[in-house]
A and B are shown apart, each in its own frame.
Chain A
Amino acid sequence: MSDDEMTTSVADNEMHDESESQPVDADNETEVAFDLTARTGGTSEGLAPLEMTPEVQRMIEEGGVLRLPEENDLDPRQSEVRFGDGETMIINLGPQHPSTHGVLRIMLELEGETVLRSKPIIGYLHTGMEKTAEELTYVQGTTNVTRMDYLSPIANELVFCLAVEKLLDVEIPPRAIWIRMLMSELNRICSHVTWAATNGMDLASTTMMIFGFRERDLILSFFEKTTGLRMNTNYIRPGGVAADLPDGWEDDVEVMMDTIESRLDDYDELLTGQPIFRERTEGVGILRPELALALSATGPLLRASGIAYDLRRAEPYLAYDEVDFDVIVGSVGDTFDRYAVRMNEIRESIRIVRQVLERMPRGDYRVQDAKVTPPPRGRIDESMEALIHHFKLYTRGFEPPEGEVYVAVESPRGELGCYLVSDGSNKPYRMHMRAPSFVNLQCVPALLRGGLMADAIAVLSSVDPVLGEVDR
């Protein structure tokens, strides 16, 4: 936070609500200098001075929304942290602060070092991907969705393809299912170690950052070998996957899993038992389960609060009902629990990957349905029909019957849903992604309330927002 990002808010400061866009006369100049909206570039979206904020809005910013049992009224006086008489200060965290994981901006009202209110302000990375999806055919759609959550591209492609396949009503062959499962779990490990890395950096453990990125690279190299790309793989396609696994993939995966498993012990040594780390994370940013549910939180954030909601178990897709794994839940719901849940989920994912390794079926890696599957490369050279077929599929694509579906999968960040509406043409009429980070971000004011400014970074990191997905 540089000085120019800091703005003090004098208690009796007036908000120029209506006259915002009008030029201010010279007499008001000094007052304007303290005007939040003028200084922070924030307009209606930002954090307004306390006395200008409506009650309910204030409750959200104080994270007090969930102190309401059932539909009782929102009473700010129930808040545990009292406003003192001291001067409060409103500061901007981000959008370019390195610890905010992308272009997330959080406005915080502080009293001394204590966070009183906060409000995440998002949209800096909004590129209208849902609108773009309406302009792309179903075949092209995966290239778009894979760029949303750039830490778990496979999960994005998977949910889109599952939704398309549900509209089309095609069943994909077992090998494709298991390849998808293998890749999803590798992606989960990859995403969680990256989270561990950035979380370590936020807590000033640069060693953890290097460790995490080292392990991530192992998996990304395997992705490159399999899909041709390290990120934004576009590997899962409607009807199966883009290519079969490379020769010798079993050895690669086995080595990778053994390495990562042994390095998890290093992480434990470095962080889990480390007194400073525990001091900074234990009891910090507690999210109560009823609060988490009411705020629609999912993923490790919800599970750390003790609710065993994992879509792989609750609503098995692919072949998750055939593999053996545990759903990890926390007990307290603090930052440490969220760390522990993710670390143990890596272990569970390794367990799943090993089972996939043993049981990978043989056969086609994509469905032999000419409607969705291009002909093999060799056929194109010898058959005119195959060439036409290939051309038609990649220009016009296929046309799922009219209808609408909502499909959800467990991405590393929570429930990733895809609501797809087809009007019978070759492009989705509407594609909506229920992005877990976008929804989970609503918990941030509740988690930060009453905590210290230094803890805010640790707490924010434990929510694991990926801004590409938040803003879409």
Chain B
Amino acid sequence: MISETSLAERGLEIALITDAPLTFSRGQAVIHPSRSEYFETVAKFKGARYVTCSDLCAVDYLSAKEARSLPEGVTPERFEVVVSLLCLEKMRRIRLRVQVAESDLTLATLFSLYPGTENMEREVYDLFGITFVGHPDMTRILMPPDWEGHPLRKDYGVGRVPVQFREAPGPR
């Protein structure tokens, strides 16, 4: 298991890059920039040799607003965009969790920093309806273009069709 001291060291390392609130989740470093600082924070990490954006996804906290621990000063909102950045030289990962309010579902795109986020941001747009401002191609990617609604939102029903099992005719 990860020791306290290594976490403290990691915290110092990150504090050199950004002063956004830092937490640890099961030993993994997570920072919580505000929406306005989001792009700059990612840019700072890019400057600190975090060369790849390995993952970008979103979570809808509609039905579990209290189920997450956020550091002080971060207002929980309905949506959260989660970005994982990777530094290959030191093999470090950092996760950014940005709160996105339901009233204004926009976020700056990371496309100019990491072109590899193109598909991932489209996926988040498609499944959650969060628009990435400045993204070159903000269209649906997995769902059909004329689809209504954003399936991974918690208020989007699973739409399960009840299957009626007819009694199978026996062998006799």
Contact = CB atoms under 8 A, between A and B. Distances in A.
A441 B119 contact: yes
Given A57-B137, A402-B67, A429 B52 contact: no
B75 interface: no
Interface residues of B, number: 47
A224 B51 CA distance: 41
A434 B85 CA distance: 13
A415 B52 CA distance: 12
Interface string A106-128: 00000000000000001100101
B26 A429 contact: no
Contacts of B145: 43-45
Contacts of B114: 294, 296
Contact of B26 (A293, A314, A403, A424): A403
Contacts of A60: 115, 118, 136-137
Most chain A CB within a 10 A radius of its CB, from B25, B91, B111: B25
B142 interface: yes
B80 to A, nearest CB: 9
A419 B158 contact: no
Contacts of A54: 136
A298 B111 CA distance: 18
Contacts of A264: none
B55 A402 contact: no
Contact of B52 (A135, A293, A402, A438): A293
B59 A430 contact: yes
Nearest to B156: A131
Interface string B89-132: 00101010000000000000001111111111001000100000
B9 to A, nearest CB: 17
A295 interface: yes
Contacts of B68: 402, 404, 421, 423
B146 A43 contact: yes
Nearest to B97: A404
Contacts of A298: 54
A193 interface: no
Given A60-B118, A131-B152, A297-B116, A402 B69 contact: yes
Interface string A303-319: 00001010000110000
A130 B151 CA distance: 10
A196 B29 CA distance: 39
A133 to B, nearest CB: 10
Nearest to A418: B55
A354 interface: no
Interface in A41-91: 43-45, 54, 56-57, 59-60, 65-66, 68, 71
Nearest to B146: A43
B88 A307 contact: yes
A16 B37 CA distance: 39
A293 B51 contact: yes
A442 interface: yes
A441 B142 CA distance: 13
Contacts of A438: 119, 123
Contact of B152 (A56, A123, A130, A297): A130
A60 B136 CA distance: 9
B142 A296 contact: no
A66 B115 contact: yes
Most chain B CB within a 10 A radius of its CB, from A59, A296, A403, A406: A296
A295 B115 contact: yes
A54 B138 CA distance: 12
B82 interface: yes
Contacts of B91: 314-315
Interface of A: 43-45, 54, 56-57, 59-60, 65-66, 68, 71, 122-123, 126, 128, 130-132, 135, 166-167, 169, 293-298, 307, 309, 314-315, 402-406, 408, 415, 417, 419, 421, 423-424, 429-430, 432, 434, 438-439, 441-442, 471-472
Instruction: Sort A-B residue pairs by CB-CB distance and give the 4 closest, nearest first.
Output: A296-B116, A423-B67, A56-B136, A423-B64
25 contacts: A43-B145, A44-B145, A45-B141, A54-B136, A57-B136, A123-B140, A123-B144, A126-B143, A130-B152, A131-B151, A132-B158, A293-B51, A293-B52, A293-B88, A295-B115, A296-B52, A296-B116, A297-B116, A402-B68, A404-B68, A419-B57, A432-B55, A432-B57, A438-B123, A471-B142
Given A126-B143, A429-B59, 15 more contacts: A45-B145, A54-B136, A65-B118, A128-B151, A130-B152, A132-B158, A294-B114, A296-B53, A296-B54, A297-B116, A307-B88, A309-B88, A423-B67, A434-B55, A442-B115
